[in-house]
Amino acid sequence: MTQQQQLAALLFPHIENTPAHWIKAYPKRQLDPQAKVTRLGPSPTGFIHLGNLYGAFADERLAHQSGGVFYLRIEDTDDKRKVEGAVETIISSLDFFGLHFDEGAGLTVDKGSYGPYYQSARREIYQSFSKALVEKGLAYPCFLTEEEIASIRSQQEAAKLTPGIYGKWALCRDLSLEQVKKRLDEGQSFVIRLRSRGMEGTENAPAKTFSVRDAIRGQLSMPENFQDVVLLKSNGIPTYHFAHVIDDTLMGTTHVVRGEEWLSSLPVHVELFQALELPLPIYCHTAQLMKIDDETGVKRKLSKRKDPELSLDYYREMGYHPQAVREYLLTILNSDFEQWRLENPEKELEAFPFSAEKMSHSGALFDLSKLNDVSKEVLVKIHASSLADFLTGWAKTYQPQSPLAKADPAFVARILSIGRDGQKPRKDLVFARQMADFTAYFFDETFAVEDPWPENTSPEDCRSILKAYLDTYCHGDTQEQWFDKVRSIGTDLGYAAKPKDYKKNPQDYKGHVGHVSTVIRIALTGRANSPDIWEIQQVLGEHKVRQRMGKALTSL
């Protein structure tokens, strides 16, 4: 037995299995050659924002579009970041926005045969690989304490050297077997570090570089790693770097989609793949979704602490339709999506050929007005009855006391249908909360006269208009018949039949038919602005129309 093998046996007395064993236990997936396997690897903090959804969407499209697999792996290697119920939040939030996992971590049981999908349940695997690296002399135990590391760091900073544990600073690199034994016997805790084979560059001898092709960014050239990074923490749990290499290999990930903040640790990962003699996956480093910081006015990446309004829950509360959010995300995910959508207005967005190459290299700013615009276009294509189900479902959760929550979806569908037919449908529905406000006047409980009566119209005229309107109202009138009556009510009182007449000779009239209809509109809806009055009346029914006119008359 070599010294290294003895060391490995000393450090991992209970580890029997070798990497070869695990590689055999995780056979290559039987998929089409072009099928992509992607994964989402969140840490269970329970907070998930639009930026996470943005990245997850790329994963999902890449996998499902190619007939591959999209799975969920919970990266719970840091117990400080664990939050109760987090996994449930992650799964249900993504599910709401239409991202469904084929396999991976589940609430009760995991799905799929490449598990376990919780990293905390994979200790033995990571330790097997660590042991193998120690045996090969590519990893070693390090007993440095926090204080010692801090002291090394300050020395390095004072000498303007690169901080970290490497080269001559890696004090435990060449401990003898006896020294290790002694420390172990003393009960000292240790981590396993990579024995990096890289060299830091100097002015005379620049660091060796390697070249990797990133599916989003193209060819990348980076200096090799020289830091003895931690592989296994003192509690035996791996760092992200080590877990990533092993898990993505065993689980057959073909495309590693992750945020660009990982770009700088790519050299570490590449060295680890080489040390373990494993093939590299294809990396896709996405640009982060950004926002302008309210306080500093500076562009920065989304933060879970500072940006609660970008949490996925926020969009659910506001009642953005998942389809609208998906559509918006795609517009910033792939720059040619909008063009495609223009050419294929009726197609499902799943039909869009998503590609990693078309993804932006720089972080896009989240743009609420763009989301709203996209949402309008999406909602106008959704059938009124299905939109009504969505709206009442939302109201039941977020406004349970509102009349909307108790309303008959068929009635809500009639409301939402107003002005949606024809060549130029209204596009004023954006999100559920706004729709709730938009439709409030259809329910007596939430009906109120909010806007002032028009200035051109005296209270006496208002009364005369409403009185004449009630007297001549016939619920069975067609839209044309109805409007003719409104017009003649106006002309009888000295209002122009056409706004243009009034504009030409304002001195001849009190106002125009628009002012007359505004009086009726306010009596009916409480607002100066609304969709077509006649259509609203048809939905409301004759009884309520007369009731509201009467009520307005007495209040004037």
Q: What residues between 72 and 101 interact with RNA by CB under 7 A?
A: 75, 77-78, 80-81
Among 58, 215, 246, 533, binds RNA (CB under 7 A): 533
Exactly one of 113, 360, 386, 397 binds RNA (CB under 7 A); that residue is 360
Q: Which stretch binds RNA (CB under 7 A): 101-109, 234-242, 382-390, 409-417?
A: 234-242
H helix runs in 251-362, sequence order: 266-275, 312-318, 322-333, 337-343
d(C-alpha 341, C-alpha 441), whole Å = 35
Cα diameter, the chain = 111
Residues 6 or more apart whose Cβ sits within 8 Å of residue 84:
46
Answer for which of 104, 530, 540, 552 binds RNA (CB under 7 A) is 530
| Residue with smaller CB distance to RNA, 254 or 518 | 518
| 145 belongs to the binding site for RNA (CB under 7 A) | yes
Q: If binding is defined by CB under 7 A, does position 498 make contact with RNA?
A: yes
Which residue, 357 or 408, is less far from RNA as judged by CB?
A: 357
Q: Tell me the C-alpha distance between 66 and 208, whole Å.
A: 36
Q: Which of 105, 518, 524, 548 binds RNA (CB under 7 A)?
A: 518
Query: Which parts of 460-489 interact with RNA (CB under 7 A)?
Result: 479, 483
Measured from the CB atom, the residue of 32 and 343 that comes closer to RNA is: 343
- 9 to 48, contacts with RNA by CB under 7 A? 41-43
Residue selected from 84, 146, 348, 471 as contacting RNA according to rule CB under 7 A: 146
CA angle 103, 109, 110 (to 5 degrees): 25
Under the criterion CB under 7 A, does residue 154 sit at the interface with RNA?
no
Closer residue to RNA (CB): 1 or 158: 158
- Residue 364 touching RNA (CB under 7 A): yes
Out of 373, 389, 477, 501, the only residue in the binding site for RNA (CB under 7 A) is: 373
Nearer to RNA, 1 or 298 (CB): 298
Q: How many residues bind RNA (CB under 7 A)?
A: 89
Cβ distance to RNA smaller for residue 17 or 234: 234
Which tokens sit at 178? 């006896």
User: Could you say which of 309, 317, 428, 477 contacts RNA (CB under 7 A)?
Assistant: 428
353 lies in the site for RNA, by CB under 7 A: no
- Rounded CA separation 98/79 (Å): 29
Q: In what order do the strands lie in the sheet with 191-194?
A: 139-142, 191-194, 230-232
DSSP 390-448: HHHHHHHHH-TTSHHHHS-HHHHHHHHHTT-SSSS-------HHHHHHHTGGGSGGG--
Mask for 125-144, x = binds RNA (CB under 7 A): -------------------x
CB nearer RNA, residue 85 or residue 499: 499
Among the residue ranges 19-27, 47-55, 168-176, 354-362, the one whose residues contact RNA (CB under 7 A): 354-362
473-502 as b/e: b if 16+ CB within 10 A: beeeeeeeebbebbbebbeebebbbeeeeb
Minimum CB distance to RNA smaller for 499 or for 506: 499
Task: List the one residue from 401, 424, 478, 554 that touches RNA (CB under 7 A).
Answer: 424
CB within 8 Å of 296: residues ≥ 6 apart: none
Integer Cα distance of 58 and 34 in angstroms? 16
Residue 153 found at the interface with RNA (CB under 7 A): yes
Distance CA(232)–CA(190), nearest Å, equals: 9
Candidates 426, 463, 510, 551; binder of RNA (CB under 7 A) is 426
Tell whether residue 446 is a contact of RNA (CB under 7 A). no
What binding mask, one character per residue, do residues 246-265 give for RNA by CB under 7 A, x or -? --------------xxxxxx
Q: Which stretch binds RNA (CB under 7 A): 5-13, 85-93, 126-134, 231-239?
A: 231-239
SS3 category, 509:
coil
Q: How far apart are the first and last CA of the chain?
A: 102
Q: Is 88 left (phi over 0), alpha (psi -120 to 50) or beta?
A: alpha
Q: Of 153 and 433, which has the nearer Cβ to RNA?
A: 153
Binding residue for RNA, selected from 66, 331, 392, 456, defined by CB under 7 A: 331
- Dihedral of the alpha carbons of 508, 513, 515, 518, in degrees to the nearest 10: 170
531 binds RNA per the rule CB under 7 A: yes
Question: Is 179 one of the binding residues for RNA (CB under 7 A)?
Answer: no
Q: 453: Cβ–Cβ under 8 A, 6 or more apart, which residues? A: 459, 462, 518, 519, 522, 556
Query: What does the DSSP 8-state code read for residue 23?
Result: H
CB atoms within 10 A of CB 236: 14
Interface segment toward RNA; rule CB under 7 A; list 85-93, 124-132, 230-238, 464-472:
230-238
- Residues within window 192-221 making contact with RNA, judged by CB under 7 A: 217-218, 220-221
Distance (Å, whole) CA 253 – CA 68: 10
Looking at 2, 3, 92, 189, which residue binds RNA (CB under 7 A)? 189
Where in 383-422 is the site for RNA (CB under 7 A)? 419
Binding track over 269-308 against RNA, x by CB under 7 A: ------------------xx-x-------xxxx-------
Q: Give the three-class secondary structure for 519.
A: helix
Q: Contacting RNA (CB under 7 A), which of 108, 204, 369, 401? A: 369
